[in-house]
Amino acid sequence: MRNFTYKNPTKILFGENQIQNLENEIPRDAKVLILYGGGSIKKNGVYDQVKEALKNHTTEEFGGIPANPEYAVLVEALKCIKEKEITYLLAVGGGSVIDGTKFLAAAALYPGEPWEILTKHVRTLEGQALPFASVLTLPATGSEMNSGYVISRRETKQKLSSGGPGLFPQFSILDPEVIRSIPRRQLINGLTDSYMHVMEQYITYPVGAMLQDRFAESILQTLQELAPKILAEEFDLVAAGDFMWCCTMALNGLIQQGVPGDWAVHAMGHELTAYFGIDHAVTLAIIAPSHYKYNLESKKEKLAQYAERAWGIKDGNTEEKALQGIQKMEEFFHSLGIKTKLSEHTPGFAGTAEKVEANFTNRGLLGIGEYKSLTPSDAKAIVEMSY
């Protein structure tokens, strides 16, 4: 296992009726901006719970943060923060709202042009952002307990990421009851997104991190077992709680300590979202099978271990097991109703691989993956395999 330093300061309030604790968690003298998305929180009762809990606080609101949080919308929210002299941000939503809030927390105190934070890879340190918290309404990204975020900019067709130790939520409320009202498509995305978060940290190469491997495998197995229950018509509160916690644990930093990370699937997937507007989780399911096949030689030991431990595959040599593991992963995505070829999602897929290659080259992404050895031409080949 590699050396590591691990600190996660986010406080988690998990379970039913936790939203009422907002009153005591946010300082009474704070001027709070409540941020949310398309308004679903006003239909499922979360908005009313938040407003009731903060009735003795000074609050403002900013709604309409879209999936794949859009820079132009966030600029408007930033104006509100400055005009209203906001001192505390509260994200009420899923990963997109929380990611947007992280960007706003950083941008509110950044001395330069906000987009520079992303293009110049500025890390936000402790004390360099407004304090913020979250009420999670859509499990998927783990943004409620980590310090990273991704922002889209439609006019330039870019989807860029940043973060830093100053961008952990002070606390996050996880009430599994909210899953009752989540549309099926978003549940599928949440299952897929969290699954691939684990895979990006797990399917690399062995470093003797036995416990980390077991942590990762347990999350994968739990998601595989939970998927039918989460997608069933009858709501299962116990399964919902396990699902919500899996999504958080998949990307709160714990399982990535002491091990290499890949994240090439995400890098390529972000391009597909930027070009075609395909859901982020779906792009991961499109790219992952080709990525693992293309890099079979360097990943086969962990892929074979994945096949054995996550799917119970015992027959075959290392390479054969690895290929069976990739097949089982793709079958899992199919069982969720996800089509895993780009051509099944858009008729305009021709030339996408060349665009990815050019964009990676232009942005200086000349070596990605756990070895930092995947070149833009490798990305081109992987995307072509995904057609």
pLDDT tens, residue by residue, 88-119: 999 999 999 999 999 999 999 999 999 999 99
Averaged pLDDT score across all residues of the chain: 97
Is pLDDT larger for residue 39 or for residue 196? Answer: 196
CATH 3.40.50.1970 domain extents, the chain: 11-178
Residue type, position 322, single letter: A
In the predicted structure, residue 245 carries a pLDDT above the cut 90? yes
Greatest alpha-carbon span in the chain = 64
Residue 101: CB partners within 8 Å, gap ≥ 6?
35, 89, 90, 91, 132, 134
Residue type, position 215, single letter: F
In the predicted structure, residue 290 carries a pLDDT above the cut 90? yes
343-359 mean pLDDT: 97
* The domain made up of 11-178 is a member of CATH 3.40.50.1970: yes
Low-confidence winner among 156-165, 233-242, 367-376 (lowest mean pLDDT): 156-165
CATH 1.20.1090.10 domain extents, the chain: 184-385
Residue type, position 223, single letter: L
In the predicted structure, residue 179 carries a pLDDT above the cut 90? yes
129-155, pLDDT tens digit by residue? 999 999 999 999 999 999 999 999 988
Residue 218: CB partners within 8 Å, gap ≥ 6?
none
Q: Check residue 194 and give its pLDDT.
A: 98
Question: CATH top-level class for 184-385?
Answer: mainly alpha
Question: Which helix (H) or strand (E) element contains residue 158?
Answer: strand 158-163
pTM: 0.94
In which band, very low, low, confident or very high, does the pLDDT at 41 lie, cut at 50, 70 and 90? very high
